[in-house]
Structure 1
Amino acid sequence: MAQPSLFTDGPLLGADFPLPLDRPFTTRQAADLGVSRSVLSRLHRTGYVRRLLKGVFVAAQVPDTLTLRVQALQLVVPAGTVIVDWTAVWLYTGCLPFGHHLEVPPVSVFRLPGRGRLRNGLCVSGERDLRPGDVTMVDDLTVTTPLRTAWDVGRLSHRDLAMAGLDCLLRTAYFGKDELTGGVERFGKRRGVVQLRELAPKADGRAESTGESVLRLRWLDMSSLPPPRPQVPILDDSGRELYRLDLGVEEIRFAAEYDGEEFHTSDADRAHDRARREWIEQHRGWIIEPVRRENVFGLHRDVESILSEGIARARRKLGSSGRG
């Protein structure tokens, strides 16, 4: 049995770790080389490894790349299947659905019609009609093209996830907004096309996180409010960009920002956010409303009132200050 204490003598996994340090591995491969599930769980909990997919891990020091994601999927995707939906989004972009930075979703693959469903512990599967032009090869993996992936995610995902997926794919510039909207009516009699018709024109590749995408969707749903601009630049006195605000209305200097758990939880993150926002508010006259997951999601969300009240406050401030 491998001695787990040796794996964690340094700041990162060292050469004594019996699995590759430059590519993904499965829990089965780890067990075969003496790294039990309990040891692997401890390494994951303490940050020495990170989970890429269900049952697939990689050393923490390995950077996220398309090649890494391909290698991870090669370990678990069955032959004769097509990678689809959010697994395809992740492969192309590295984006995960909101809330999944700590726990990744299962792999989504489909067989072509007539080949039946897969049933195993790693994959969610089913059947779907795909044209030859809807699929492509990424290394030796068969995947729906980025555009077909966008149409499927836009139709078949929960509305919030659909908006986030469309934004992620547009951000990578695999296709343009006109291509996205121009193909919607191909699915005119298919499930979810009403949602796709609504969301495709709203998709925006400037969104930098899935939570930010849903925040923008909440804002756009409130048609009485002025629509937001993503990634509003804040300039210094010489015109150079200092900061960006997630979503804002420049005419009234109101912004809202989504503080996700992954990058806005530590004391250092919070201190940086606070200092940045205080400077923008004091020196550029903005009102900035930070929102978190509980404000945007769930039965008790209050983002709509936060936006409405913040915009009203910004209008009053604009008038009283004599700006504009």
Structure 2
Amino acid sequence: MLEHVADPLGIILRRDALAVGFNDNHLARARRDGSIVRLRQGLYVLGSSWASADPATRHRMLVAGVLRLYRNTVAASHQSACVLQGGPMWGLELSHAHVTNLAGVGERRAARVTHHRGECRVGDLTRSEGLWVTSPLRTALDTASLAGRDAGVCVLDWYLNRGLVTRHELGVGLDRKVDWPGSLPLQLAVRLCDARSESVGESRTRLLCVDRRLPLPDLQFEVFHPSGRLAGRTDFAWPAYGLLGEFDGVGKYTRTRRLGETVVDAVLREKAREDLLRELTGWRMIRFVWADLDTPAATAARIGRAMHRAAA
């Protein structure tokens, strides 16, 4: 049974299967009946494991298998390391496993693996479950250098918000990469990142304000009772315009549900919180959803109208 050759993720290396008595005919039959799925040459995963995996887990399977194939000659890097470290996936190219060759050679893209060449210094690498992975600082900068401005800022925001890197460390790391490809877009992403953003949606909303020349919001704005007790926080606030803002992501109400609380209960509690914050401040509230980010001109106009009404 091939299940006995698989690791906890369901990964099977061809060389391991051959070593215990299977052959290529066994593997071919298993592929045809769906027992295994071929990820690349020499690398398979149990069909049941693959079918039940979400996109992040599927990428982890590919990366973990590739690292086992190459043993200790490469480290997971760039967006693959970001996924392994739990970072955001929005806007990242994840069809390939991204690795950096520890010998500093090789720059190619083949068989679902992108090989990067780059000097790895002390502190650039860490071990995770027996495999080499670039450090959070190196990962954040490498990923942002490839991802484009918006996705890069979302990645940098996440690493800053989780306390995995500091702005000072980003600056030092950026100085080391000044001659690397992608360094100019990376410099812009570093200038725009903000540790206070708690989600991709919040980061992208902030960047929409940058692009549309709207006043930048205060982030994680705190509202207090007259007694000084904290009443709540909002994702955004424009105090000069008397406007509060919230980003309602897909998982917001499920993620913040309390023990024994239904989604409806969570929505009603959020509505009561919003009413309280508006009552305490006398300000308006504007809410954003993912679809708003796909229509930046319309969303910017909506923010502008809300500012005008709130300031009137």
**Alignment correspondent of 1:312:** 308
1:293 and 2:290 correspond: yes
Q: Is the 8 A contact 2:157 2:203 kept in 1?
A: yes
**Alignment correspondent of 1:68:** none
**Counterpart selection for 1:235 from 224, 227, 237:** 224
Per residue, is there more helix in 1 or in 2?
Answer: 2
Provide the secondary structure at the position in 1 that maps to 2:84: helix
| In 1: Cα distance, 2:131 partner to 2:50 partner | 31
Query: Percent identity among equivalent residues?
Result: 23
What are the superposed Cα offsets for residues 65-91 of structure 1, whole Å, 9 maximum, x if unpaired? xxxxxxx95455342222122222233
Q: 1:245 to 1:192 in 2, by over 3 A?
A: same
Q: What does 1:65-104 correspond to in 2, within 5 Å?
A: 74-77=64-67, 78-79=69-70, 80-92=73-85, 94-98=86-90
Provide the secondary structure at the position in 1 that maps to 2:241: coil
Provide the secondary structure at the position in 1 that maps to 2:233: strand
Query: 1:157 Cα shift?
Result: 0.8
Counterpart amino acid of 2:299? V
| In 2: Cα distance, 1:236 partner to 1:255 partner | 16
**Counterpart selection for 1:147 from 110, 118, 137:** 137
| In 2: Cα distance, 1:36 partner to 1:131 partner | 35
Q: What does 1:190-269 correspond to in 2, within 5 Å?
A: 190-223=180-213, 225-264=214-253, 268=264
Provide the secondary structure at the position in 2 that maps to 1:143: strand
**Alignment correspondent of 2:277:** 280
Query: What TM-score comes out, normalization by structure 1 length?
Result: 0.68
Counterpart amino acid of 2:239? E
| In 2: Cα distance, 1:191 partner to 1:115 partner | 15
| In 1: Cα distance, 2:122 partner to 2:309 partner | 51
| In 2: Cα distance, 1:150 partner to 1:217 partner | 18
Provide the secondary structure at the position in 1 that maps to 2:250: coil
Q: What does 1:50-129 correspond to in 2, within 5 Å?
A: 52-54=56-58, 74-77=64-67, 78-79=69-70, 80-92=73-85, 94-98=86-90, 107-111=97-101, 113-115=104-106, 117=108, 119-121=110-112, 123=113, 125-129=114-118
**Counterpart selection for 2:125 from 136, 140, 144:** 136
| In 2: Cα distance, 1:162 partner to 1:212 partner | 14
Counterpart amino acid of 2:307? I
What are the superposed Cα offsets for residues 34-67 of structure 1, whole Å, 9 maximum, x if unpaired? 97889848984xxxx756421768xxxxxxxxxx
Q: Is the 8 A contact 1:83 1:143 kept in 2?
A: yes
Counterpart amino acid of 2:147? S
Provide the secondary structure at the position in 2 that maps to 1:132: coil
Q: Is the 8 A contact 1:110 1:117 kept in 2?
A: no
Q: How many residues align?
A: 271
What are the superposed Cα offsets for residues 251-288 of structure 1, whole Å, 9 maximum, x if unpaired? 43312222222335896354444333233223332222
Q: Is the 8 A contact 2:225 2:280 kept in 1?
A: no
Counterpart amino acid of 2:290? R
Provide the secondary structure at the position in 2 that maps to 1:196: helix
Alignment gaps of 5+ in structure 2:
18-29, 38-45, 255-261
**Alignment correspondent of 1:302:** 298
Alignment gaps of 5+ in structure 1:
2-17, 58-71, 317-324
Counterpart amino acid of 1:210? V
Q: Name the Cα RMSD after superposition.
A: 3.8
What are the superposed Cα offsets for residues 144-176 of structure 1, whole Å, 9 maximum, x if unpaired? 222222222232212110010001111222332
Counterpart amino acid of 2:76? I
Q: Is the 8 A contact 1:89 1:169 kept in 2?
A: no
